[in-house]
Structure 1
Amino acid sequence: MVKRAKTTEPVNHIAVFQESSIRRVWHNEEWWFSVVDVCAILTASPDAGAYWRKLKQRLNAEGGQPVTFCHGLKLLAPDGKQHETDCANTEGLFRIIQSIPSPKAEPFKRWLAQVSYEWVKEIENPELASARARELYQAKGYPRAWIEKRLRSISMRGELTDEWKARGVAEGKEYSILTADIARATFGVTPTEHSQLKGLDVVKTGNNLRDHMTDLELIFTMLGEASTTEIARRSDALG
């Protein structure tokens, strides 16, 4: 059995299509994307939420039953809180896109297929994910020493969340609470407060706080999460 690569932190993520952000979340061992965000990109509607509600009604009337390929999952909203949002996996998005007349539909399908292909290949070969992440950071001009720390921090975060999952901790809100507790003990502030101190707008831009940490901040973050993992194992804690 092939294990999923520990290259992504199991929290909300941002995917980017033609400089537009799409919220996504890891659920049931695959990526699920915000349908509203996709509608906003394909239609340029001033109210993508209303567009999706009307489209969902039409699909229901036509027997498309979007409820069968959409799930309400918690995503970060503009107010900085987690809200249940209609999400679809790759297969579901392809079905939805077919019902949206847009010149961006075909480019989006190709982009989605590429994202899915890369995800599958990374599951089969975890080293590909690390190599791709390293290339991306190098292209952005990060120093090599920082990149190695960042990749190590991703791996350690994966070990921690795997431990949480094995002990029954629910993804989403419980992960966020525990992560905030670790950050508060390490830096004296929560990740949200830390982002604000650095002037990052996580919701609008998808900026990852850890991509803006210094070498020392990454080291302290790794120490905090490694210690938490070890404590959970030794105490045999359950969620």
Structure 2
Amino acid sequence: METKLAIFQGKEIRKTFHKGEWWFVVEDVVLALIDSKDPKQYIQRMKRRDPELGKGWVQIVHTLSIATAGGAQRMLCANTEGIFRIIQSIPSPKAEPFKRWLAKVGYERVQEIEDPEIATARTRELYRAKGYSDAWIEKRMRGIAVRAELTEEWKGRGVNGEPEYAILTAEISKAAFGMTPAEYKQFKGLNRENLRDHMTDLELIFSMLGEAATTEIARKQDAQSFVENKTAANKGGRIAGDAREKLEVETGEKVSTSENYLVEPESKKRLRGKKP
């Protein structure tokens, strides 16, 4: 298990990667937001002061191994959601910016539920802020819509959410690209990052084709249950895979690439590629 440092209010916060997400040392976060030098005692008082936090403590906080100067130690850690819940119980001026930010995020979420177009507009702006080109964003947003249509179709055809969605998605990806999403992420050198946020235009197009074809096959063949939809997923992915292979023959280049946008935004790569 890898331990790293994060900077929080100018203080170093130890964190470790556990079950696919970062977990932060609770004492480090609390110490960054209070004036006391004894976070352990403060945490005990905080749980007494906030009975609901105390009751849910064992669900929020897990004991994980953290590397220290004296060797690995078992320490109380919480994921991002848990840390935000803890911050809500700290009556400190240092915690106020985070509380206001949480209130703003909650308000924005209510707005998005009332008007889904707001969520779409915000997603576009986030991608632009990260350096993605408008052309790439259009494909990514269309891919999100195609994916949503497919999962809605699965929901009405006897597919029981996760992990069955993940298995069917892997079936499409394997047939379309010769790799499951997990293998694809490894191929691109990704960890927690969203795979499709690191796909090129062509990779996004063939992903969409595989999922759109799967949706259409499931409808036309009236696929019911996980087993029948797995067959439809393989057929849909194979349609994208056949098209990908034909393009590769014509161009002499592979569609799947290890390229990702971890270091350089997509729009900058596009501009660099146009230079003589």
Q: TM-score range by the shorter chain?
A: 0.5 to 0.7
Cα 1:169–1:37 shift into 2, 3 Å: farther
Q: Give CA deviations for 1:59-115 in whole Å, capped at 9, x if unaligned.
A: 59975376679979xxxxxxxxxxxxx8898xx987643445776532222222222
The structure having more radius of gyration, on CA atoms, is 2
Contact 1:149 1:219 in 2 (8 A): yes
Alpha-carbon distance, 1:175 to partner: 1.8
How many residues align structurally? 187
Query: SS at the partner of 1:210?
Result: helix
Counterpart of 1:169 in structure 2: which amino acid? V
CA–CA distance in structure 1, aligned partners of residues 146 and 25 of structure 2: 32
Residue 236 of structure 1 deviates from its aligned partner by 3.7
The DSSP-based 3-state class of the residue aligned with 1:200 is coil
**Corresponding residue to 1:237 among 224, 232, 238:** 224
Return the structure number with greater helix share: 2
Partner of 2:134: 144
Within 5 A, what are the aligned runs for 1:195-214?
Answer: 195-202=185-192, 207-214=193-200
Shift of residue 194, structure 1, vs aligned partner: 0.8
> Who is 1:161 aligned against?
151
Q: Which residue, out of 40, 43, 62, partners 2:30?
A: 43
Shift of 1:215: 0.7
CA offsets 1:120-169 (integer angstroms, 9 cap, x no match): 21121121122112222222222221110000001111111122223343
Are the structure 2 counterparts of residues 110 and 216 from structure 1 closer, same or farther at C-alpha, using a change threshold of 3 Å? same
Alpha-carbon distance between aligned partners in 1 of 2:104 and 2:211, rounded to the nearest angstrom: 32
1:70/1:133 Cα in 2 relative to 1: closer, same or farther (>3 Å)? farther
Could you list the runs of 5+ residues in structure 1 that have no partner in the other structure? 1-16, 24-33, 46-50, 73-85
Change (3 A) 1:130 1:59: same
1:184 and 2:171 aligned: no
For 1:155, the aligned partner's letter is A
2:118 aligns with one of 114, 125, 128 = 128
Q: Which structure ranks higher in relative contact order (CA pairs < 8 Å, sequence separation ≥ 6)?
A: 1
Match of 2:183 among 182, 193, 202: 193
The CA deviation string for residues 171-220 of structure 1, in whole angstroms up to 9 with x for no partner, is 33222211111111111001111111111122xxxx21111111110010
1-structure distance, mates of 2:183, 2:144: 21
Deviates more, 1:110-119 or 1:35-44: 35-44
Is contact 1:180-1:191 (8 Å) kept? Answer: yes
| C-alpha distance 41-139 of structure 1, shift in aligned 2 (>3 A) | farther
Alignment of structure 1 residues 14-53 onto 2, 5 Å: 39=26, 42-43=29-30
Paired letter, 1:193 = E
- Cα distance in 1 for partners of 2:211, 2:196 equals 13
Amino acid paired to 1:138: R
Does the aligned pair in 2 maintain the 1:69–1:88 contact within 8 Å?
no
RMSD between superposed Cα atoms in Å: 4.2
Which residue identity is paired with 2:224? Answer: A
Kept in 1: contact 2:158–2:225 (CA 8 A): yes
